[in-house]
Amino acid sequence: MSKQNQIPEVDIVVDEKAGVIREVKDERKLRSKSGHERRVNTAIYVILVLMSVIWLAPFVFLVFQSFRSYALESGGMVNYLLPKTWSLDNYRWLLSGESNFIRWYGNTLFIAIFCAAIQTVMVLSVSYALSRLRFKGRKLIMNTVLVLGLFPGFLTMITLYFLLKQLGLTQSGAIPGLILIYCASSGMGYYISKGYFDTIPKSLDESARIDGATRFQVFKKIIMPLAKPIVIYTVLMAFMAPWGDYVFASYVAFGSEPNYNVAVGLYRWVNVNDYQGYFTRFCAGGVLVAVPITILFMCLQKYYVEGVTGGAVKG
C-alpha cells in the first residue's frame, strides 16, 4: 500500500490518434541529470561486473579442475579450488586413446554434421511450404503439429527404441539410429523459420511467377538467397543440439560403449560408481567439448540473436 502511495497519481489518457496509452505527469520537472545519471551508471556497472563473475565462475572453476594433476594429486572431487600441481595429465589421458573419448567425440561430431545438413533441409522445406504455398490441408498440418507438440518427448522413448531396433539401429548401430530420430520429426520445428519467410514480401514471388518461373525456381533462386540468416540459424541449432543429448543417446546405445556420444560417456564418468577418480577427466572432457562449440557460437551469435528474437516475436 505504502509503495503505491510513493508513486505519484497518474491520469491515463488514451491518445486516440496515436493509439497510445500515455501518461500525463504532474509537476515533476526535468532536473539536472548528470550527478544522478552517474550514480545510476555506477550501480549498473557494479551489477554487471558481479553478474559476469557469477556467470563465468563455474566455467573458470571447471577449467581449474581440469588442470589438476591426476598423477600427483587426485582425480576425484576435492574441497579446494586451485590445483596444488598444475598439469595436462587429464588432457593427455583423454587424447591418448586409453579411453573411448576420442571415439565419442568423433561420433558426436558425425551426428552433429549429419543433423545439421538433414534437419536444415527438412525445416526449410516445411516452413517454406507452410509460409508461401497455399494448399488443402495446410491448416490441418499446422494444428496437428501444435497438438503433437504438447506430448512430452520422452513418452515415446521405448517405442522409438524398438522401432530403431527393428531397423538394426540400436547399440552398435546407434549413431545412424540417433541421426534418424533427431531428423525424422525435425520438420515439426518449423515455427521460427516460417516466421522469417513470412517477413519476405510476397510481391517478390508474384513478379517471378509472372515471368514464368515455377514454384521450385522461386524457392531456389529468389527465396533461398534471402534466407541466409535463418539457414545459418537452423544449421547452428541442429549442430549444437546433439552435443548435449544424454537421454536418447544413452537409451539407444546402452551397453555398447564405443557408440556413446560425449554426453553419455562423460555423464557416466561422474554418475556411475564404477568409475573412481574420473572427476578431473570429466572436467577436461567438458572443456574439450565446450570450447569449440562456444567459439562457433560466438562467431555466429548474430544469426542466433536474429533467430530467437524473430522466433519470440512471431511466437
Residues 82-111 that bind other proteins (CB under 8 A): none
Of 92 and 295, the one with the shorter C-beta distance to other proteins is 295
Residues 292-311 that bind other proteins (CB under 8 A): 293-294, 296-298, 301, 304-306, 308-311
Residues in the chain: 315
* Total site size for other proteins, rule CB under 8 A: 127
Among the listed ranges 86-94, 182-190, 197-205, 223-231, the one in contact with other proteins (CB under 8 A) is 182-190
End-to-end Cα separation, the chain, in angstroms? 36
DSSP 225: H
Our separate counts of H helices and E strands in the chain read 16, 2
Per CB under 8 A, the list member of 50, 81, 82, 204 interacting with other proteins is 81
Q: Which of 245, 223, 146 is nearest to 188 (CA)?
A: 146
Give the residue with the Cβ less far from other proteins, 228 or 302: 302
Report the nearest approach of other proteins to the CB of residue 261 (Å). 10
For other proteins, the closer of residues 87 and 185 by Cβ is 185
Subset of residues 118 to 137 that bind other proteins, contact rule: CB under 8 A: 122, 125-126, 128-129, 133, 135
Q: Which residues pair with 23 in a beta bridge?
A: 12
d(CA 242, CA 262): 9
- Residues 112, 181, 223, 238: which binds other proteins (CB under 8 A)? 181
Residues 253-282 that bind other proteins (CB under 8 A): 254-257, 263, 266-267, 270-279, 282
Asked if 262 and 105 count as a contact pair (C-beta separation under 8 A), the reply is yes
Dist. CA 265–CA 94, nearest whole Å: 12
What burial letters (b/e) apply to 132-142, b meaning 16+ CB within 10 Å? beeeeeeeeee
Residue 27 binds to other proteins (criterion: CB under 8 A): yes
Q: Grid coordinates in use for 257?
A: 560403449
Give min distance, CB of 217 to other proteins, in A: 8
Residue located via cell numbers 555506477: 42
Q: Which of 2, 17, 151, 203 binds other proteins (CB under 8 A)?
A: 151
Q: What residues from 197 to 216 belong to the interface with other proteins (CB under 8 A)? A: 214-216
Q: Which of residues 41-70 bind other proteins (CB under 8 A)?
A: 41, 44-45, 47-48, 51-52, 54-56, 58-59, 61-62
Q: Under the criterion CB under 8 A, does residue 230 sit at the interface with other proteins? A: no
CB of 88 to other proteins, least distance (A): 19
Distance CA 175, CA 108 (A): 8
Q: Which residues of 185-218 are buried (b: 16+ CB within 10 A; e: fewer)?
A: ebbebbbbbbbbbeebeeeebeebeeeebeeeeb
- Establish if 37 lies at the interface with other proteins (CB under 8 A): yes
